[in-house]
Amino acid sequence: MANPARKRKLVLIGNGMAGIGTLEQILKLTRAFDITVYGAEPYPNYNRIQLSYVLEGSKTVQDIIMNDRSWYEENGISLHTGASITRIDTSDKRVYTAEGESADYDVLILATGSKPFVLPVPGADKEGVIGFRDIADCNTMIEASKSFKKAAVIGGGLLGLEAAKGLVQLGMDTTVVHLFDTLMERQLDAVSAGMLKAELERQGIKFAMGKKTVALTGEDRVTGLRFQDGSELEADLVVMAAGIVPNAELAKASGIETKRGILVDDFLQTSVPDVYAVGECCEHRGVCYGLVAPLYEQGTVLAKKIAAVETAPYTGSSVSTKLKISGVDVFSAGEFAETEKHRVLRNHDDWKGTYKKVLLEGNRIVGAVLYGDVTDSALLARSIREGKNMTDDLYSELFGGGGCCEGKAKSTGVEAMADEEIVCGCNGVTKGAIVKGIREEGWDSVERIKACTGATRSCGGCKPLVEQLLQYTLGEKFDGAAAKKTGICGCTTLGRDEIVATIREKRLTHVREVMHVLGWNEPEGCSKCRPAINYYLGMIWPKEHEDEKDSRFVNERLHGNIQKDSTFSVIPRMYGGVTSPDELRKIADVADKYDVKMVKVTGGQRLDLLGVKKEDLPAIWADLGMPSGYGYAKSLRTVKTCVGSQFCRFGTQDSISMGMELEHRYERLWMPAKFKMAVNGCPRNCAESGTKDIGIVGNDGGWEIFVGGNGGIKLRGADSLCKVKTDEDLIDICDAFIQYYRENANYAERTSDFVERVGLESVRQAVVEDKIGRVKLIGKLDEALDGLRDPWQEVVQDEEVRLKLYRPVTAGK
């Protein structure tokens, strides 16, 4: 007999913006599905639009994650990353992975996206020829830039220009190769394209225009491009950015009807019952969309269809483009190339670097191009979509010049936008959603709107329009300064210093107490502010505040690093990288007992047990009988050491003993961000002190202390803070620096960013030169260290605490 309470199974193939955007809409409408997501990449959902920022180094991969792993867990979604679906049995309603695993479904959504169009020319398969669609491509380019110096990007559209800008930032001599004489020929006219090209040349990008690539030269690795006119261009790296192709092969092989993309009807249904497609992989009424806004519009209709909520059909999207290309705002909608049938209204200002062109057929507005200033983009997009006629009033709105509107304040145009009109194309946020939030939920700042809807969190191009909506909706209540004020998250406009000061002044001791007293917009806070407040409370009141587990990130709650396949890694602590035969036997026994997939030596001189099941975590720690290495936490991770004077013929100081002493001292101490240390026994620096938060180098006269290093994506060499003669002085300086950092850094701010923000001299004054202040800092650190114990032992010993640890933490509960 069927179980009437059984949830229907929804499987999503594709973990990108279109698919997860659809899931977000479904979750707002119903919780009736048991959801499983398969993504081919080893990451949770991230913002593909911001890949260029990762490439150029201004953002990390973590910065562009839109839904981290805790979001999937808190919403009951089973996420499988690094898992490619290779077959769909539409008769049996089951999907199969490349590894042979399978899952059945009641409803299936295909959101397989697109792939780069690879020019069919000889040599396209050589090493060093790649596309630009994912994080792996970014990593390939970053690595190539370390060894090679000449790059070519084939394609002068948005993707190619962003790739080129990133490669220039990486120090490569970069040339954009374009078949046409103008850039972005599908969106821009000759004037605006010329202005864009001139600006990008000022930024260091070279161009080879009107060039058709006929071959890529070289043996195993590419060495250059050969053009149809016989000329050649040297290149050690070639990026294909000449277009995209819908990724429809899986659907086609599974008997689902395809043409260029996966064919869908007006409700995104494919030719197979209960199978839907959304995003760049699908073809609707003969059109495959490559921009983000149409994908969200499709997702909204599909979510309502699947949730059995009445909805109007999807009839297609208006193709207007508003982009930020390498710091330049560009807008294009409708027709952009004038012909004899057009009347042209134009304003070109080389001094300000702006250009505005509006095309009319008769008096009807049929197209527009904006460069440099896109304030009028919403007004023009709507006018083109609705086929409005140009009037004296509208002309004055767009071009000024007096007339009947002289003396009137310039309208933003947002008042006439339809509620369903998209404001944020990157995240599919409509005007109606924003206005409703402002009126009914009290959203009074851009940051609040960003936190609640995602608008402005991606490319930022919609920020002026969001500000205009705030001003329009609030009217006289609008406070421009308050609207732009940035808090620690969208739940508040208060910054770190204001929150910490109020906690001290009012002696607040609980997370929810802080949010209540300070008037949080969201009573339960969010995954960004709850951990921050919990840290600030523990830092200020180390004895009074009881750590609040439900305000910690999932890795910290579960005491293990969640991996791409939803298993966990367990890292026992090995002080200073030193272990013993007994510890190694324990680790080997545990690895056998719990069928650990891999045992790996980490960069921090420890052993990492990978592939641990969530339910085995308490037992595996109990069997190990070793403290956690906190490989998941905002705390001390490792103290890396060389063998030092105990064994090395060059060693002048006992780095092993000092490293172990420091690690014993600071383990379990919560920090604003993860914290790494290293101790070298001599200046040969085998333990790599120069890229650690605190790096220590021994010499004949004592120790030299370095701070603020970072060996990650944002590489930064540590600064020399001071030299000391004794071990006692070394520990004192480390104590004082750590406490100064704990008290003054923003939550999640690494020491590399902290030292740059406050300045090395300020750090040196507080930690080294102000001896009275240093004693106070050391005293506060001693107070924080007093009574610390490994919380994992509580979990192992106390069943009630263990159950609390595994309780899902969801806002509102």
Answer whether 176's CB lies under 8 Å from 160's CB: yes
Sign of CA dihedral 127, 131, 136, 138: positive
Q: Is 665 exposed, middle or buried (0-12, 13-18, 19+ CB in 10 A)?
A: middle
Beta-carbon contacts of 34 under 8 Å, excluding residues fewer than 6 positions away, are 7, 8, 9, 10, 76
Structure token pair of residue 209: 């225009």
Backbone angles phi, psi at 637, to 5 degrees: -85, -65
Percentages of the chain per state (helix, strand, coil), in multiples of 5: 35, 25, 40
C-alpha–C-alpha distance, residues 630 and 673, integer Å: 12
What residues pair up with 35 in beta bridges, in sequence order? 10
Antiparallel, parallel or unpaired: β 364-371 and 354-361: antiparallel
Sheet holding 102-104, edge to edge: 85-89, 94-97, 102-104
Q: Is 647 exposed, middle or buried (0-12, 13-18, 19+ CB in 10 A)?
A: exposed
Answer whether 487's CB lies under 8 Å from 412's CB: no
C-alpha–C-alpha distance, residues 356 and 384, integer Å: 15
C-alpha–C-alpha distance, residues 641 and 658, integer Å: 9
**Alpha helices (H) along 644-726:** 644-647, 655-666
Q: Confirm or deny that 282 is annotated as ligand binding.
A: no
Furthest C-alpha separation in the chain: 89
Antiparallel, parallel or unpaired: β 213-217 and 206-209: unpaired
Q: Confirm or deny that 281 is annotated as ligand binding.
A: no
Answer whether 95's CB lies under 8 Å from 108's CB: yes
Beta-carbon contacts of 70 under 8 Å, excluding residues fewer than 6 positions away, are 527, 553, 554
- Which three-class secondary structure state does DSSP give residue 608? strand
**Alpha helices (H) along 441-510:** 446-453, 463-474, 480-484, 496-506
Q: Confirm or deny that 648 is annotated as ligand binding.
A: yes
**Residue for token digits 């959801």?**
35
C-alpha–C-alpha distance, residues 653 and 651, integer Å: 6
DSSP 376: T
What residues pair up with 558 in beta bridges, in sequence order? none
- List the one residue out of 340, 541, 688 whose CA is nearest residue 533: 541
Sign of CA dihedral 484, 487, 489, 491: negative
Backbone angles phi, psi at 244, to 5 degrees: -130, 160
Q: Confirm or deny that 138 is annotated as ligand binding.
A: no
CA 259 to chain centre: 33
**Binding-site residues from annotation:** 642, 648, 682, 686
**Binding-site residues from annotation for [4Fe-4S] cluster:** 642, 648, 682, 686
**Binding-site residues from annotation for siroheme:** 686
